[in-house]
Structure 1
Amino acid sequence: MNPILITKDDQRPFLRLDLYQSAASVTRALFMSAVETFSRGIEHVVEFDPGYKLSDDECFEINDFPIHQDLIGYCRQPLSANRVTASDFEHLPINGIVGYDFSEGQQKLYFQNFDSRRVLIPGRRFAVFPMADASTFRQLDSPVLLLDANITATWNNGVLRFKSFHLAKQLFDLSEYFTEATDEQISQFVSHISLQCANTERFIRVCNTWSRNKIALILRGGVLDHATGDIIREAAAAVQYEIPMEGDRIVLPEEKGELRALLQFLDEDIYLGPISQRKLLSSSKRPLA
């Protein structure tokens, strides 16, 4: 198996990761084991509802879920996809890795989330590996990409299954499956321990349909529930976003442009362009002002 990489680059959204035959066999075994682990213990399948909290023995399911035809084509015939090179890893915004099984008429895709921590770049991180005698180590001198032993979602002939809404929405557009936040949910949002709001009623009046949709996604994704002040500041610095904070709490702006930028950051829409280093939106690739 030569996995397919999903990127945020409009010009190269799908790339093939070429592997030696032995590595390709191990990779296939890794994905198959991950699929088995993913499926193990699932007793109930729940039709996707972003407001529903899954139990340990449940997973979400969406029937007739569309997958980009180019991705399906590349997974069916991997050699038709362009290859990724080691030099790409430093700047390429990789979003996910896809394994697949098209044997015996099947159409199965297996999705892993991906972030920059799974690429080791010499100079960015200091890594060593053993020499022939196993007790002497040398410095890493070329990029390394790490495959995970877990998967986020499976797609089987149109049926998408996943356990984490937060992880799945980073790979798939699930916007049509949720509704905008109510006034009560916005009040819940502004009262979060990580946020600071000067006037809840005034903030609710500022929120339009777009803001309410984003707030619904942020609430259901739980992105703030485990984020400390330091994590938030580091994430903002990584995408060169000047986040308004007092201590460890994010100050919610009431100016619509500033609020829009903040909600895009919290919903993890912002990334740095690999060449220009400009702040871009992952959905449309528009430069932010």
Structure 2
Amino acid sequence: MSLNLFALTSNPSKRIVKFELSSEVQTELTTYLTSQETTFDQAEEEIEFDGKYKPDNGEILFINDYDDIDNLSSAVENPLSAEVVDPTEEFFTEIKALFTGYTTDTGNVKILLQNFDRRRIISTNGLSIFHSSNVYKKIEGIGLTIDHKLTATLENGKLRFFNFHNTRQMFDLSEYYKVATDDDVIEFSNLDIIKSENTEKLIEMSDSWVRRKISLIHQSGILQNVPINEMKAVATEFNIPFLTEMDGSDEVIKLPNNKSDLKKLLRFLDEDYYKSPLSNTAFVTNSKRAVNA
């Protein structure tokens, strides 16, 4: 079995593109990715995704009847039908995921996916070098680094993944998670890192958008995994309302008491803001419009 390598992009005219590989690279890539598949498939228990449960070690999340709207399986079955990657830095920034796949013994197409981080682009902007034969040589042309692990697999309508945040960088999963209930909003406000002055008002301000964001933030684990000083520094850079106060010896995030600032904070915590590595300009990801600092 030899695996091809494809990219899923945000470009509607070139949604799926294929990398032209040398036979040597294709052979090594096949070994590399099938090894990752073996590691990925070692999860002992599958948990149906509901937008709230975070898998423990040995557990994996899944969504049944996932709609492969981009028809990734068709590219795997008919690789010659896919356009070839445009080897420009601008196009590489449109890549959302790398994927490959094969037809199983049961006749299903199994797709192996990695979400794509722009930092994995080997840019032509500057001088890129690599070590070979005891010297450093210049990298000619644009390139990328393939990650050491899979983000998700898709087979027969079943999407399996460990990390929701990484998977939704590739696919729109909004229809598959449940919005936060009043109890969920209260639970959010009672987190050790959160300070809410008026829980009743918070519930009153929690429209469907706020409730979806609370569910997404809970699922992402950002409040548990990112130090508050780092969040505060980035929020300041993007001019996001991010008030904190001391609760004993701990610094906590103070929830705004007006809906506009609350939504800005929740959008920030859901990581809808990023900094373009090319232009160093702040954007809101759902619109790609520049943020006025």
TM over 0.5: yes
1:95-110 → structure 2 map (5 Å cutoff): 95-102=96-103, 105-110=107-112
Letter in 1 for 2:238: Y
After the TM superposition, list the runs of 4 or more consecutive aligned residues in structure 1 that deviate by more than 6 angstroms: 272-276
Letter in 1 for 2:242: M
CA displacement 1:104-135 (0-9 Å, x = unmatched): 633111111221222232557x7542244x1x
- Tell me by how many angstroms 1:77 deviates: 1.9
1:198-209 → structure 2 map (5 Å cutoff): 198-209=197-208
- Tell me by how many angstroms 1:246 deviates: 4.2
- Tell me the TM-score normalized by structure 1: 0.80
CA displacement 1:78-98 (0-9 Å, x = unmatched): 232222233236762322211
Indicate the residue corresponding to 1:29 in structure 2.
Answer: 31
Distance 2:208 2:264 in 1: 15
Indicate the residue corresponding to 1:224 in structure 2.
Answer: 223
Q: 1:191 to 1:279 in 2, by over 3 A?
A: same
Q: 1:141 to 1:250 in 2, by over 3 A?
A: farther
Structure 2 unpaired stretches of 5+ = 245-250
Distance 1:249 1:72 in 2: 46
Q: Which structure shows the higher strand fraction?
A: 2
- Tell me by how many angstroms 1:146 deviates: 0.8
Indicate the residue corresponding to 1:181 in structure 2.
Answer: 180
- Tell me the TM-score normalized by structure 2: 0.79
Q: Do the aligned partners of 1:244 and 1:251 also contact (CA within 8 Å) in 2?
A: no
Distance 2:91 2:228 in 1: 27
CA displacement 1:2-32 (0-9 Å, x = unmatched): 3221233444332222221211221122221
1:225 counterpart SS class = helix
1:281 aligns with 2:285: yes
1:187-198 → structure 2 map (5 Å cutoff): 187-198=186-197
Q: Do the aligned partners of 2:284 and 2:290 also contact (CA within 8 Å) in 1?
A: yes
1:240-255 → structure 2 map (5 Å cutoff): 241-246=238-243, 250-255=253-258
CA displacement 1:53-81 (0-9 Å, x = unmatched): 43323222322211124433222222322
Q: Do the aligned partners of 2:62 and 2:159 also contact (CA within 8 Å) in 1?
A: yes
Q: What RMSD in Å do the two structures reach over aligned CA positions?
A: 3.3
Indicate the residue corresponding to 2:247 in structure 1.
Answer: none
